[in-house]
A and B are shown apart, each in its own frame.
Chain A
């Protein structure tokens, strides 16, 4: 236990740790400038409970139980019989030359199987495979990887990693959205690619630490989805170089926890102080005051990726970012809605940084008034 861990535990309070996964990591990287989220995620705070207590409960990224069940059964079906079906698929769709492959199950052995033990097992297995000259492929089922994010180590668990299919490690993502006539929902593919990029990065980091070449991990990940309206899996290669580059960029831009902690009050905590029945007793006002001590950076994208979105949106009320990225960019340099209106209507003289945006707004406003008056 380090000092940082102690601080983070105190910030979380008595609640159990809410671990990261590739989806939350990808979401975090999508808004790297947000200290509030960086801190809460690093501490493993359950943001949904905080938002609830503050009266802004919001369901975010919640999957339907029905969809989850179907996703699980699809994954099980794809991996059935030691991955036989999958192997056939990889050969068929991806032209991978491997005729046979080992199947290495890295799922938890039992309920007590600690994540650190699984991580060690996975590392050993993957590194051994990377060093071996054996041409036979291996499929690693649910290995554990580790990624360092703003100074905090996070564990993640890809569906599958395939190795020695064309000499590289390939991350395999099994998703239950369909590919219909060769086309899948682009938003869902992008989200899957983002997640896979997290795995690629983690795997490369691991090989590098072990003195192996990170290039052993392919930037082409394998996406396995049901085809058309059936349960039959198809595989497609997805190039994740772009999401990988943006993930890297965001990770380096992200503030490290050890530089963040010293500037926060030492008594800061998001503990909900649960009573014996599990009900929070922390006063919402007090909690809100703590939340307000850590700065946020709200944008409407948060609505789809962060449980605190309702809280941060209310806090950002009256500012331009609430209206979306495009509006924010077009009004570059103007932060308050009231100020933007004052500049547009001529009720305020712009400062130097706002001159360009203000001139445009002023002209736009005059044209708008002209048009509306002509209508009357």
Chain B
């Protein structure tokens, strides 16, 4: 959190209305989102109890495990879930467009990529663990499963891995997506509860925000958004019903109990299901930031590439990263986070304000401009306009430092002098690029006297993954050489699940 978002929280609490923390939405919102509301059995390791899944807010598919502690039942659950997730993934991958690229393996791009919404970050963990549980299953030998189970595992693992990157949007926890745009007048602890955030953003008709927020904390009216269930529900309803299920003597009795179980689980999931869809609608109605489309394109590239990997019979992801993969992933994570931060700041004055407050960016007015200044370069003279800006921002930059102009496509400028004035700073800058090919700078490429300008030390440079990191087989020996391809061992397929 930052000063700007703390201020937004304070203002929200004071006015009892949510406050924006960004002017635009920086998340791509798919037109065909897939929502998943899972619940698990307490005390077990991610034992799926039930899930609500689908792309139609009015018609959730409901899958209930008949015996969450039994391996065969868990696998059957996974198989049914695969039926709902793999089909949209395959059909999205099937529609592609050609793209111009120098990288032959990426000459096509899927026009759509899946976007799976879960209620909260714990839902992301669920996806990761369910992926781990299913991706090593084999369609042969003891415990043989349908091939779709393993495929599901591979895709769920990919989704969960992607979710670790700040700029990704294929697996979205609704609470985080909402908090990225709006501040509520409560703390981030309360904001972890989807119902409590939605109480601020869209309280039930006729209800005051404060009452709605209190109501959201009563698990009897607002069941928890999962995957963990409400302990009171467990004690009063779930435990007795599971006991009945285990002791049902006839098939008919069993089916009756199962019907009852399904009914009560639906009651636990449905309110959250509706809230997630409401959250998607709210976010979808927000204006997207300029660079959202570009990030979504990259995300579709990653999806396309991974789809190729899977269709070529790629192995399930290793249980643990080896050292090289681990380092790669960490570096990629940092780099994508940095570029995501920069992109958001370039697109959004409210985000940029945080950098201005920290002195890493400044906004001001141009008081002098010499657009035709030329200096001698290495071979010939080049255009290097001088621009002088006054600002009241608390600048913490140095002479010689490079800054960028977000409104001129990241035009580079060097700070040539920095003088303290009575009320702020006078900054002189020498522009470096993005002025066109001609001798004179293109009109508009150099700010004129009286213009409002913003400069920031943030650079909007995105290094493509392929360029930043060698492919597996090209890892130099200095870095351990190509790592062995992780090959799943047969024992993985039959690992103990008791």
**A residues with CB within 8 A of B:** 58-59, 62-71, 176-178, 180-182, 226, 228-232, 300-301, 303-304, 310, 318, 320, 322-324, 326-327, 330-331, 337-338, 340-341, 344, 360-361, 363-365, 367-368, 370-372, 374-375
Contacts and interface: CB of A to CB of B under 8 A. Distances in A.
A344 B7 contact: yes
Interface string B150-192: 0000000000000000000000000000000000011111100
A232 B495 CA distance: 11
B102 interface: no
B10 A337 contact: yes
Given A71-B43, A180-B45, A181-B320, 17 more contacts: A59-B231, A59-B232, A64-B234, A177-B45, A181-B319, A232-B498, A300-B190, A301-B189, A324-B188, A324-B189, A327-B9, A327-B187, A337-B13, A364-B3, A368-B4, A370-B349, A375-B349
Given A59-B232, A64-B235, A327 B349 contact: no
A361 B188 CA distance: 20
Contacts of A318: 13
B459 to A, nearest CB: 22
Contacts of B496: 228-232
B231 A62 contact: yes
Given A67-B43, A182-B320, A304-B189, A371 B353 contact: yes
B238 A66 contact: yes
B234 A300 contact: no
Nearest to A326: B1
Nearest to A303: B189
Contacts of B394: 363
Contacts of A368: 4, 7-8, 350, 353
Interface of B: 1, 3-4, 6-11, 13-14, 20, 23, 41-46, 129, 132-133, 185-190, 217, 219, 228-229, 231-232, 234-235, 238-239, 242, 319-320, 349-350, 353, 356-357, 363, 393-394, 495-498
Contacts of A300: 187-190
Nearest to B41: A66
**Residue among B6, B186, B498 facing the most chain A CB atoms (10 A cut-off):** B6
4 nearest A-B pairs in the assembled complex, by CB-CB distance: A70-B43, A67-B43, A324-B187, A64-B42
Given A181-B320, A367-B357, A65 B231 contact: yes
Given A71-B43, A322-B187, A337 B14 contact: yes
A208 to B, nearest CB: 38
A367 B353 contact: yes
Contacts, number: 148
A178 B13 CA distance: 39
A326 B238 CA distance: 38
Nearest to A374: B349
B23 A323 contact: no
Contacts of A370: 349, 363
Nearest to B193: A303
Contacts of B14: 337-338, 340-341
Nearest to B191: A324
Nearest to B235: A65
Contact of B10 (A65, A181, A331, A375): A331
13 contacts: A64-B42, A66-B41, A66-B238, A70-B43, A70-B44, A177-B45, A228-B495, A230-B496, A300-B189, A327-B1, A340-B14, A368-B8, A375-B23
Given A364-B357, A367-B353, A371-B353, A229 B13 contact: no
A62 B187 CA distance: 22
Contact of B495 (A177, A230, A374): A230
A62 B228 CA distance: 12
A67 B47 CA distance: 12
Nearest to A72: B43
Nearest to B20: A372
**Residue among A58, A181, A367, A372 facing the most chain B CB atoms (10 A cut-off):** A367
A65 B235 CA distance: 6
Given A300-B189, A303-B190, A363 B357 contact: yes
A327 B10 contact: yes
Contact of A360 (B3, B10, B238): B3
B407 to A, nearest CB: 12
A330 B497 contact: no
B239 A65 contact: yes
A182 B318 CA distance: 13
B45 A178 contact: yes
A372 B350 CA distance: 8
A287 B315 CA distance: 64
Contacts of B42: 64, 66-67, 70
A50 B113 CA distance: 52
Contacts of B4: 364, 367-368
A51 to B, nearest CB: 13
Contacts of B23: 371-372, 375
Contacts of B188: 300, 324, 326
B373 to A, nearest CB: 30
A352 B272 CA distance: 48
Contacts of A375: 23, 349
A208 B67 CA distance: 52
A323 B13 contact: yes
Contacts of A70: 42-44
A364 B43 contact: no
Given A180-B45, A323-B186, A64 B320 contact: no
A229 B495 contact: yes
Contact of A371 (B41, B44, B231, B349): B349
A66 B219 CA distance: 17
Contacts of B393: 363
B194 to A, nearest CB: 16
Nearest to B498: A231
Contacts of B45: 177-178, 180, 226, 228-229
Given A66-B42, A323-B186, A330 B6 contact: yes
Nearest to B22: A371
B6 A327 contact: yes
A65 B350 CA distance: 47
Contacts of B43: 64, 66-71, 176
A66 B239 contact: yes
A229 B129 CA distance: 10
B16 to A, nearest CB: 11
B349 to A, nearest CB: 4
Contacts of B495: 228-230
B242 to A, nearest CB: 8
A31 B176 CA distance: 27
Contacts of A178: 45
Contact of B7 (A66, A231, A365): A365
A68 B231 CA distance: 10
Nearest to A338: B14
Contact of A65 (B8, B190, B228, B234): B234
Contact of A64 (B129, B190, B229): B229
Contacts of A323: 6, 9-10, 13, 185-187
A368 B12 CA distance: 13
Nearest to A319: B13
A356 to B, nearest CB: 12
A372 B11 CA distance: 14
A344 B19 CA distance: 15
B9 A63 contact: no
Contacts of B238: 66
B370 to A, nearest CB: 28
Contact of B498 (A63, A230, A304, A365): A230
Contacts of B46: 229
Contacts of B41: 66
Contacts of B189: 300-301, 303-304, 324
B319 A341 contact: no
B435 to A, nearest CB: 26
